[in-house]
Structures are given as C-alpha cells and as structure tokens.
Amino acid sequence: MSTTSYRSKIASAKLTDWVEPSFEDLCGISNSSFAPQTKPSGLVRRQQKNKEHPLFINSSHSEFQKTKRSKYFSREKSSSQIENDPWVVKYKPETQTELAVHKKKIEEVEVWLKAHAVQRQPKQGGSLLLLTGPPGCGKTATVQVLAKDLGVQLQEWINPILMNFRRDDVKNIFDCESSCQMFSSQSQTGLFQEFLLRANKYTKLQMVGDSTETDRKLILVEDMPNIFYREPASLHQILRRFVQTGRCPLVFIVSDSISGDINQRLLFPKEIQEELSFSNISFNPVAPTSMMKVLNRIATSETNWSGGRVAVPDKTALELLCCGSSGDIRNAINSLHFSSLTDSSLQRPNKREKTGHKPGKLSSRAKQKQNLEKSLVKQEHLQAIGGKDASLFLFRALGKILYCKREPATESNLPRLPLHLSVHERDPLLVEPEAVVEKSHMPGDLFNLYLHQNYLDFLTDIDDVVRASKYMSTADILTGDWNSRAALREYSASVATRGVMHSNTARAYAHCQGRVGFKPLHKPQWLLINKKYRENCLAAKTLFSNFCLTSLCLQTQLLPYLALLTNPMRNQGPKIPDHIKEALDVPISVSELQNALKSLKLGSAPGNDSSDCFYPRHWPIAPEETFLEIET
Ligand SMILES: Nc1ncnc2c1ncn2[C@@H]1O[C@H](COP(=O)(O)OP(=O)(O)OP(=O)(O)O)[C@@H](O)[C@H]1O
C-alpha cells in the first residue's frame, strides 16, 4: 500500500469521524478523490476557495453545490440512507399524478412551459412567469415535475452566502506571486445579473445521469436576493434587459406571507407586470382530499416498509394533521413524520390518560365526552409537534363572527342563568372570538372597523342593533387613547366581537340558526375618510405653514373660520358664488382653497409670499399675533 493512499485513508477516516452523518453521501467520494494529499499551496487554497465562490459554480452557491451533489449521489444511496431521509424528500413527487396540486393548475403551468420553453420561436425573447400562492402548496414541486416531463433543464438561482472576509483573504488578494488577482466582494445585484447572463447563455454543468439530449432550459428564481426588497427598481431594470435579450423563460416563485401578497406587490407591481408581459399563475392551498391521499399513501407505505417500527397515526389523527397544516403539504408530511417517531424521548406522558378512570361501564354520554376529550388531547398533542399557525382570511374571520354559529348546550357545559337574567341565555359559541381575531392577523381596532361596517346587515331586530352599537361604542372608547391603545386593543376586539354575537338574538340558540344567506362584506368607510382627513391635514399645513398650528387646530379652528366667512350675513363683501362656498366647506383640498381665496379677492394663502400676504378683512387677529400667542 502506498504512503499516499495510506495517508488518504487516515485523512478520510478523520473526515468521516466528524462530518458524518450530514455529509455521509459525500464520504465515499471524499475518501478517495477529495482527501488532501499534500498541504495546499496558496494558489491551490485560493482555487479551492474560489470553487466556493458563487461565480465559479453554475448556480452561484456552495450550499447549492452541496444539495446538487447530494441530489446527484442520491441515486447511489443505500437503503439506510434513504430511511434517514426526511419524508418530504423521500416521498417527493416524481410524476404529475403524484402531485397534490389541482389538475387545472398543473395544466396551466404545463401549457405555459410548452409555449415558452419547448416550442419557443427563435426571436421570442425572454418570457416571464410568476407563480404565487401560500407556502408549501407545491409550486416548486410542480415546476420540477413538469420540467422533467418536458425535458427542460432547470437552472435555479439560490442566494449566495456572503463570505466572511478573513485576514488571510487580504493577504491572498494582495499576493504578488499570484498570477490572478481577484477581489471576491460583489454586490447581490451584480451576482444575480451575472447569474442570469450565464444561465441564459450557457447550458448547465453536466451531472452524471443528466440527459444530454436537450438544450431547452428554464431559469427558476425562488430565493429572491434581499436587495430587491429594498430596491425593486434594480430588479425591474434587470428584467427589462432580460425580456429583450433572454433566450429562455424565467420563472419566479413568490410565496404569500402572513400579511398576504405584499412581497408580490412590492417586487412585481401591476405596472411592471403589464410592461414586461408577465404571465401570472396563482396556486391555492392543497385541498384536504389531495392532502389526505398523500398522507395515506405515505402512512401505508411506511407501515409496510418498517414492519411496525414506525407508529403511523390512524385515520382521525391524519385528518387532524390535515386540518392543522392549512393546505401546506410540506408541513403536513413533516408533522406526520415527527408524530410517527417511536423515539421515547419525543413522547410526552399524557397526564389525563395516566390518571384516567378505571375501566368500567360508562353511559353513552360519558363515552361521547371521553371520545371528544381524547380527540382534543390528540389534537393538542399533534398540534404541539407540527401544528401550523392557521391564519384566517379576513372575510372568513368576519363571517365567523357575524354568522355566529352555536352548538346545542348540554347541562355539563352550560350552567343555567337565574330567571331574571334569562334574556341573556345563549347556547355556547362554536368559535372563540378572540382566537378568530388573532388568526386574522389584524390589529383588534382595525378588525372592529370591519365589524362596524358590516354588522347591521346581520341583525334583524332594532333592539339588537341598539345593544350591539353600545358594545361597539364601548370597544371604541377602549382604544380611544393612544397611550393605552396597544394594551387594550385585544380587549376592545373581544368586547366588540362578543358584543355583536351576543346581541344577535335571532341566532341565540343552535336550533334557531336559519340560513342567513350570502351577504357581501364591505371595507370600512372609515379607511377612506381617514385617508381624506390625512390628505386635508397635510394640505392645510402646507397652506398655512407660517401659522405653526397643529393640523387639529387648523381643521377645527382656522378652516371653520374660513367657512364662516362665506356666510353673507357676516361677510359684507361681494356675494360669494355657490361653488366657492362649497369649496370653503371643510374638508377642502389645497388647490381648491387657494382658488377659493383668490376668487374671493379676500386674500391669498397667508404666508405663501410675504409681499402679497394679506388676510381677510374679518380676520379676528393678524396671523403674526396668532403665531405669538402660540409661542407664549
Ligand atoms: N404529492 C406531493 N405534491 C407536492 N409536494 C409534495 C408531495 N409529496 C411530497 N411533497 C413535498 O412537499 C414539498 C412541497 O413544497 P414546494 O417547495 O413545492 O412548495 P412551494 O409551494 O414552492 O412553497 P415554498 O415557496 O414554501 O417552497 C416539497 O418538498 C415536495 O417534495
């Protein structure tokens, strides 16, 4: 045995000692070919480092290189390695039928890919597609499966990890012996631009097992460079150029966040989408039926494969998992995986089960109660290991409050109210209003506004309206003071939601919950009025900036005074035309007020120009005095 091979063996043994199991699929290779033979020279070291540099690899990321390598070597994985894979990877969909995505969506993406990647016209330019939808609904999986089916190479951008600048680097950069000088720092925008250029121009590096027959390709960007969130204009500039010079389609995947499609609107506003002829396909959360199918398939195959070592949850538990993951298949599969682990360290003792009743005969009601409790406990247990923060779409959340569903009361869960309070008797609510508001991810006072705009349509009795409006007023008072607003927001929402639900006597009991039918929900008018108010404040402040008055003072004192000037009884001047009277009514915009003052010939906007700064004849005090008054 040669010394070199012996040394390499030792080195590889050392390597595998501490790098396993995360890199175990690479070890086979590292043992023989990647093990260091001699101490690397400065140049070699730099070359090795440069390999990690984004520009030296196809998709600009050493992490990406790792995943690529692991994907590449995955064909040679042993069964134990496959066993250790997370189930999302192990059960990754390979064909269209395996995808838990609606057929129509798959078809839409397929048609687009065929038109822009497969049957491309020679001078078509770069086409752009934007895939949106909630996280984990299978957008990436769909593109991957379809690209494979259509024989299209996928070139994916993954954000480079910014390399830390070490002391050695400085030496290397200014190393006089080195033949090539390279400064490794580059802006994210520059790197992204370069990646697009390269991906557009050259074909992908050939991995073992990749087909060589195709030159069709597709660039995929899911991991958006952070800089574009701060400077979307630079992205737009890059895209404008890509549309003209591109030789292949470019697909962006943007997932919705809790606050909705804010990222999408920031990065790809409507005007840009129109200008660059973006195609937009929006995905929905995975349907519970499709999700159940996938979970069932995984559960069955795991039970068969593991020979009982894996405790796969039963059907009800799978249904709970489905509900808890809110249409996110990645989350559902991960939860299933974790909940199936029989590792005792992951199992928490269930106090309620431990201290349970002794087996004996139970009445049917008690049995029902016990079943319900068990399922709740199970749900808690499952939610604890994989439950997703289920957010509610705003209008669904509002519906839960306004439609106010109740369940029949049983003696155990509802002690009766005394006779004199019987008007307040209600069946228990099906939802917890505070939880509904929380899941809408909206501040309580804003939620109240939506409720206030819509609650009238759902009440049929005038007394109910009176009662509900009292609750709304109380809720409003709670958030009236900005000092305590943040702390009292939740209480305010609680008062408003519970108040509206309680006031609705037509829906007080589970048995009298007739169909209300569809009622459209509206945006609060308050938002529009508040916008106008802010605009007017700004206008008044600009117009009367020399007065140094607060906008509140301007709106409640100065502008009303101007409005009073339009009263012909007080104003001895010429008769004021109606349109000016209207213009002088509060609220008023800057230009309207300026026009009004000019045409009144009473004065220009005070302070605009000192030479022609005069004020109406009936002005109570000169503006300078007002200023002095405020100063003192
Ligand atoms: N039947 C299936 N259909 C879709 N995805 C599946 C299926 N089975 C397993 N998966 C796995 O679920 C995950 C789905 O995530 P995917 O990346 O496609 O979602 P996404 O919509 O792109 O969301 P995100 O933007 O958060 O990545 C993938 O890891 C995929 O391998």
pLDDT (tens digit, 9 = 90+) per residue, 173-232? 555 555 555 555 567 888 888 888 888 777 666 666 665 566 788 899 998 888 898 888
**Closest residue (by CA) to atom 10 of ligand 1?**
92
* pLDDT value of position 359: 44
Strand 250-255, strand 279-282: pairing = unpaired
Report which ligand 1 atom has the smallest distance to the Cα of 294: 1
Report which of residues 419 and 339 the model is more confident about. Answer: 419
* N-terminal to C-terminal alpha carbon distance within the chain: 97
The chain-wide mean pLDDT, for the chain, equals 71
Q: How far, in Å, from the CA of 330 to the mean position of ligand 1?
A: 6
The least confident of 27-31, 234-238, 419-423 is 27-31
The least confident of 261-265, 295-299, 454-458, 628-632 is 628-632
The least confident of 279-288, 503-512, 590-599 is 590-599
Q: Name 567's Cβ contacts closer than 8 Å, sequence gap at least 6.
A: none
Question: Taking 60 as the threshold, does the pLDDT of residue 309 lie above it?
Answer: yes
Question: Taking 80 as the threshold, does the pLDDT of residue 291 lie above it?
Answer: yes
CB of residue 224 inside a 6 A radius of ligand 1: no
Q: Tell me the CATH number for domain 82-282.
A: 3.40.50.300
pLDDT (tens digit, 9 = 90+) per residue, 468-520? 999 999 999 998 888 888 889 999 999 999 999 999 998 888 887 666 778 88
Q: Shortest CA distance to 478 belongs to which of 458, 460, 498?
A: 498
- The DSSP element (H or E) to which 130 belongs, if any, is strand 128-133
Distance CA 499, CA 474 (A): 10
Distance CA 253, CA 144 (A): 12
* Residue showing tokens 């175990």: 24
CB of residue 388 inside a 6 A radius of ligand 1: no
Q: Shortest CA distance to 223 belongs to which of 270, 260, 263?
A: 263
* pLDDT value of position 126: 83
Q: Is 146 exposed, middle or buried (0-12, 13-18, 19+ CB in 10 A)?
A: buried
In the chain, list all ranges with CATH 3.40.50.300.
Answer: 82-282
* pLDDT value of position 463: 94
In this prediction, the answer to ipTM > 0.90 reads yes
CB of residue 140 inside a 6 A radius of ligand 1: yes
Distance CA 274, CA 515 (A): 43
Starting at the edge strand found earlier in the chain, the sheet holding 250-255 runs 153-157, 217-221, 250-255, 128-133, 279-282
* pLDDT value of position 496: 96
CB of residue 90 inside a 6 A radius of ligand 1: no
